[in-house]
Chain A
């Protein structure tokens, strides 16, 4: 069968179940395409020959009742994988081989999927362009020298370029939804507590969530169903009744109330984003949903709040990298000198910057003025959503304030880089689910995304709205395979 890599996850599963394709054929097809796509720099670690061996083993005695039977899959290099190097995109973990598996990846392998390799990302998931990775830039398959978004940039690029049928990322302030938007793919950030954080390299623990990235909404729903589970190894994992997200997927969203927050019309937003948003509003109206204007008055304060809370938690989480227990160690004259050199040489510039911000806002005398203040504003931001959800079932916004930008364009100005996440960060601060779906192209032909934000634990609803919109939008990603010689 030709064009295996062009098939969606759902098509591949059907073909494997119908015995029209074997796991070996599918795995080899993705390995071959990945081999030809080195220029995209999506892989930090390839595990191709082991993947083919596992596929052959699967085919010898295939369990076709599994949800991901013999499906090959690459994952973000932030998930610990047992006996496979896990770097978090950092020099400081360049030699780290976990002796345990993250719960999310374990859930995936339990359903029959096969690891292809580990995907590039911003260092410790701190970045919006994949440019902070120790392993170099990732190319966006949409166009040469275009960033794939971040921090899950290797993941978004790999799905868009069809090097993996589906993947997982993590999202602390937009790291799934922004790269999905930049690459014309679908990305879901689940409700905080929906997917276990066990075995995911920690960035900001009160914000981090794992989630699926896919070519379409159905595939996204399927992977979400696999990865979302209660886990006693994560103390903030929440034990709630999870839906059968695929089975319950419907394009019937008649009567749903969709909120349009006026504060998301930010100054300087390109007209094409505004137009895309209007088109999105028309699509949901066409589906029989009702549009309601709402206000989220503290939206403008979300990014400043995030840039206190996230670095504070990061500075605390990253204190563990001391050159003693695991990871990179630099030589030092004494213990303190060893710590300081290890962290100075092992962390990249953006990570050091955020550790310093976090250390400062938590330091004696400044805690109340910065960290406590941010936690209070976080409460106000969450209250905004709580108020809005008394009137609406979901909220529709653009995913990002612009399309993908060129590599190097924003690296010298941290604040302009941070502004990328203006529409995604409030969702993490409030712990809500959000999904980005491709909704159109800008004048340059680059994809643009729309975001649907749901109530806590209401992933089914936003998946349904996304599914209904996807049908109306009929988006086609423009991938020319320019990187394949």
Chain B
């Protein structure tokens, strides 16, 4: 069985890691939720790490099963005057703009 060190090292996802991932994910997490997530993620990663049993050095990664090359099309505008439709579902807008909390002081 081949087990690489990086996995063993990270088998245990601690609260600090959870806070880091939550920051990257832009999902706020309080202490209670962080503890629950750490438990869940540890059991899921324990399950995922079964993949380390396999040697895959010479295997080409599969990104998509659709083995056709992507089609090229002419670069022309097909959708016009969608401004109203695009803005329609916005939680807050001001004429033609999306409105967000102040970014620049």
B81 located at the interface, meaning its Cβ lies under 8 Å from any Cβ of chain A in the complex = no
Alpha-carbon distance between A344 and B86 when the two chains are bound, in angstroms: 24
Residues of chain B from 58 to 82 with CB closer than 8 A to chain A in the complex: 59-66, 68, 70-71, 73
A466: min CB distance to chain B, Å: 22
A340 located at the interface, meaning its Cβ lies under 8 Å from any Cβ of chain B in the complex = yes
What are the interface flags for A366-406 relative to B under an 8 Å C-beta threshold, 1 for contact and 0 otherwise? 10011011111111101000000000000000000000000
On whether the beta carbons of B88 and A414 are closer than 8 Å, the reply is no
On whether the beta carbons of B27 and A378 are closer than 8 Å, the reply is no
> Which of A139-147, A247-255, A320-328, A473-481 forms contacts with chain B?
A320-328
On whether the beta carbons of A359 and B25 are closer than 8 Å, the reply is yes
On whether the beta carbons of A369 and B7 are closer than 8 Å, the reply is yes
User: Which residue from chain B places its CB closest to the CB of A412 in the assembled complex?
Assistant: B40
A45 located at the interface, meaning its Cβ lies under 8 Å from any Cβ of chain B in the complex = no
On whether the beta carbons of A328 and B91 are closer than 8 Å, the reply is yes
- Known: A335-B100, A369-B6, A369-B7. Contact between A329 and B91, CB under 8 A? yes
Give the residue of A236, A336, A369 whose beta carbon is less than 8 angstroms from that of B64. Answer: A236
Interface of A is mostly: helix
On whether the beta carbons of A353 and B41 are closer than 8 Å, the reply is yes
Residues in A with CB closer than 8 Å to B44 are 307, 353, 357, 414-415, 418
Alpha-carbon distance between A326 and B45 when the two chains are bound, in angstroms: 33
Residues in A with CB closer than 8 Å to B65 are 192-193, 206, 382, 429-431, 456
Residues in B with CB closer than 8 Å to A430 are 65
Alpha-carbon distance between A456 and B65 when the two chains are bound, in angstroms: 10
A334 located at the interface, meaning its Cβ lies under 8 Å from any Cβ of chain B in the complex = yes
On whether the beta carbons of A206 and B63 are closer than 8 Å, the reply is yes
> Which of A9-17, A213-221, A297-305 forms contacts with chain B?
A297-305
Residues in A with CB closer than 8 Å to B7 are 369
On whether the beta carbons of B25 and A304 are closer than 8 Å, the reply is no
Residues of chain A from 426 to 485 with CB closer than 8 A to chain B in the complex: 429-431, 456
On whether the beta carbons of A355 and B27 are closer than 8 Å, the reply is yes
B54 located at the interface, meaning its Cβ lies under 8 Å from any Cβ of chain A in the complex = yes
User: Which residue from chain A places its CB closest to the CB of B102 in the assembled complex?
Assistant: A334
Residues in B with CB closer than 8 Å to A327 are 89, 91
On whether the beta carbons of A326 and B63 are closer than 8 Å, the reply is no
What are the interface flags for B26-60 relative to A under an 8 Å C-beta threshold, 1 for contact and 0 otherwise? 11110000000100110111011111111010011
On whether the beta carbons of A343 and B90 are closer than 8 Å, the reply is no
Residues in A with CB closer than 8 Å to B59 are 376-377, 379-380
- Known: A324-B91, A355-B25, A379-B60. Contact between A238 and B51, CB under 8 A? no
On whether the beta carbons of B64 and A99 are closer than 8 Å, the reply is no
Residues in B with CB closer than 8 Å to A300 are 50
On whether the beta carbons of A376 and B56 are closer than 8 Å, the reply is yes
User: Which residue from chain B places its CB closest to the CB of A322 in the assembled complex?
Assistant: B26
Residues in A with CB closer than 8 Å to B29 are 344
On whether the beta carbons of B28 and A344 are closer than 8 Å, the reply is yes
Residues in A with CB closer than 8 Å to B13 are 360
On whether the beta carbons of A363 and B21 are closer than 8 Å, the reply is yes
User: Which residue from chain B places its CB closest to the CB of A326 in the assembled complex?
Assistant: B89
On whether the beta carbons of B47 and A415 are closer than 8 Å, the reply is yes
On whether the beta carbons of B56 and A373 are closer than 8 Å, the reply is yes
On whether the beta carbons of B90 and A304 are closer than 8 Å, the reply is no
Residues in B with CB closer than 8 Å to A456 are 65
- Known: A327-B89, A333-B101, A377-B51. Contact between A341 and B28, CB under 8 A? yes
On whether the beta carbons of A340 and B28 are closer than 8 Å, the reply is yes
B6: min CB distance to chain A, Å: 5
Residues of chain A from 281 to 319 with CB closer than 8 A to chain B in the complex: 298, 300-301, 303-305, 307-308, 315, 319
The 6 A-B residue pairs with the shortest CB-CB distance in the complex, in nearest-first order = A431-B65, A375-B61, A326-B89, A329-B91, A340-B28, A379-B62
B binding-site residues for A, Cβ under 8 Å: 4, 6-7, 10, 13, 17-18, 21-22, 24-29, 37, 40-41, 43-45, 47-54, 56, 59-66, 68, 70-71, 73, 85-86, 88-92, 98, 100-103
Further 8 A-B residue pairs, CB within 8 A, beyond A352-B27, A380-B59 = A97-B89, A99-B88, A206-B65, A301-B51, A319-B26, A322-B26, A343-B27, A366-B6
Q: List 27 A-B contacts (CB under 8 A).
A: A99-B85, A235-B70, A236-B64, A298-B54, A324-B98, A329-B91, A333-B101, A335-B100, A338-B101, A339-B26, A352-B37, A353-B41, A355-B27, A356-B27, A357-B45, A363-B24, A366-B6, A366-B10, A369-B7, A373-B56, A376-B56, A376-B60, A377-B54, A377-B56, A415-B43, A415-B47, A431-B65
A binding-site residues for B, Cβ under 8 Å: 95-97, 99-100, 192-193, 206, 232, 235-236, 238, 298, 300-301, 303-305, 307-308, 315, 319, 322-329, 332-341, 343-344, 347, 352-353, 355-357, 359-360, 363, 366, 369-370, 372-380, 382, 413-415, 418, 429-431, 456
